[in-house]
Amino acid sequence: MNQEWCLDALYKDYDDPEFTRDMEALPEKIRQFQEAAASLGQGEAEEELVGILKAEEEIGLFTQRLGMFLALKSEVNTADEQATMQTSAMEKDMALVKKWIASLSNLKELIDNNAFLKEYEYLLLQRKKDAEHLLSGDVEDVIARLNVSAGWAWGNLQTYLTSGVEVDFRGEKTNLSAIRNMAYSKDGKVRKEAYEAELAAYPKIADSVAFALNNIKSQVNTICKLRGYDSPI
């Protein structure tokens, strides 16, 4: 049974020249965004607001393809080191951006007078609201860095366990991704057998997954208290 995604629409594989090119270009893209974030407040607010949003948009579009490829790779093989790499390079800078947006007393006026900003009205106003719960830039940076070996690490463990657990189906060994896809089979018997096979596989990893989830949520509770939220919800 084939257990690999066909990701050719994104990249052929890790040795695809396009993948190598984009991975090598990513640090420069991040550096440019960091410079833009660090210079906020030195020019006209409307112009800077448009500029930082366009910079965000550009890096978002650039990383979307990389992110989808790496995420889908890790769904099948989380032991792959390239697919499980995490970066917190922009977290501190995003905190700076949000705090600067919150400092704009005329934000609503800027939005109403600019067609481009109007498209981002909900995002901008939400960021202004969320900024009330942001910590200092250095603390946000520490949280992001620690998250790599905390919440993200527990999340990776959960993904590793669920993608690696063997599922017995009609005398063959398969994985959860493949067995879940059978939920869309036109054959009702296949759907039923696949569902039962999925449920039968979970006890193998139940305790470990629960342990990972408990630690992820423990981190959420801790950070929410630091930020001053009444509850994680």
DSSP 82-129: TTT----TTHHHHHHHHHHHHT-TTHHHHHHT-HHHHTTHHHHHHHHH
196 pLDDT above the threshold of 90: yes
More confidently predicted of 144 and 82: 144
Burial of 186 (0-12, 13-18, 19+ CB in 10 A): exposed
DSSP at 185: -
Least confident stretch, 62-76, 152-166, 207-221: 62-76
Q: How many CB atoms lie within 10 A of CB 49?
A: 23
- Distance between CA atoms of residues 100 and 84, nearest Å: 32
191 pLDDT above the threshold of 90: yes
Give the residues across from 173 on adjacent strands.
168
Across 97-101, average pLDDT: 88
Across 186-201, average pLDDT: 95
Tell me, what's the pLDDT at 202? Answer: 95
Summarised one tens digit per residue, pLDDT across range 117-141 is 999 999 999 999 888 888 887 888 8
Give me the phi and psi of 172, to 5 degrees please.
-120, 160
Give me the phi and psi of 174, to 5 degrees please.
-140, -170
Tell me, what's the pLDDT at 177? Answer: 84
Tell how far CA 140 is from the center of its chain: 17
Name the residue among 57, 71, 228, 221 with its Cα closest to residue 151.
Answer: 221
Tell me, what's the pLDDT at 29? Answer: 82
Name the residue among 28, 5, 8 with its Cα closest to residue 178.
Answer: 5
Across 79-108, average pLDDT: 70
Average pLDDT over all residues of the chain: 84
Instruction: Report the run of H or E that residue 133 belongs to, with start and end.
Output: none
Tell me, what's the pLDDT at 94? Answer: 80
More confidently predicted of 74 and 112: 112
Percent pLDDT > 70 in the chain is: 89
DSSP at 43: S
83 pLDDT above the threshold of 80: no
Q: Collapsing DSSP states into helix, strand and coil, what is residue 174?
A: strand
Least confident stretch, 65-69, 77-81, 173-177, 197-201: 77-81
DSSP at 42: S
Across 154-171, average pLDDT: 88
Tell me, what's the pLDDT at 3? Answer: 52
